[in-house]
Amino acid sequence: GEKVEQHESTLSVREGDSAVINCTYTDTASSYFPWYKQEAGKSLHFVIDIRSNVDRKQSQRLIVLLDKKAKRFSLHITATQPEDSAIYFCAASMDYNQGKLIFGQGTKLSIKP
């Protein structure tokens, strides 16, 4: 079945710098790629997503890139702020009609002052 690998388990960047989190997936049929954020002691919430009909999407300081050929997608957080510190999970949907998301292992992002 589909597997989603999240390459960085931890990431530390200085406040104001950019952070990049990378994920790869295995199933070429995957068509939907959301990102979720989990702040300390809290549950997950959605931050941004990208669908396979585009290769770039931006929402304020968040940019998602999708490379279907390499089966890779990434989350770029620009001008990082302390409140960006959290665990970020990437996910992929292998079948648009089944509601099943396959999650990566999570990347703990720390923003240093």
Partner 1 sequence: GGIITQTPKFLIGQEGQKLTLKCQQNFNHDTMYWYRQDSGKGLRLIYYSITENDLQKGDLSEGYDASREKKSSFSLTVTSAQKNEMAVFLCASSIGGTGGDEQYFGPGTRLTVL
Residue ranges binding partner 1 (CB under 8 A): 1, 4, 6, 9, 31-32, 34, 36, 42-46, 49, 51, 89, 93-106
CA 34 – CA 7 distance, rounded (Å): 16
State the Cα angle at 5 between 69 and 43, rounded to 5°: 125
Cβ density class 84-105: b for 16+ within 10 Å, e for less: bbbbbbbbbbbeeeeeebbebe
Q: Are 110 and 87 in contact (CB under 8 A)?
A: no
Q: Are 2 and 92 in contact (CB under 8 A)?
A: yes
Q: How far is the CB of 32 from partner 1 (least distance, A)?
A: 4
Q: Which CB atom, from 13 or from 44, has the smaller least distance to partner 1?
A: 44
Q: Which CB atom, from 17 or from 95, has the smaller least distance to partner 1?
A: 95
Q: How far is the CB of 83 from partner 1 (least distance, A)?
A: 19
Q: How far is the CB of 100 from partner 1 (least distance, A)?
A: 6
Q: How far is the CB of 62 from partner 1 (least distance, A)?
A: 15
Q: Which CB atom, from 9 or from 28, has the smaller least distance to partner 1?
A: 9
Q: Which CB atom, from 60 or from 98, has the smaller least distance to partner 1?
A: 98
Amino acid at 86: A
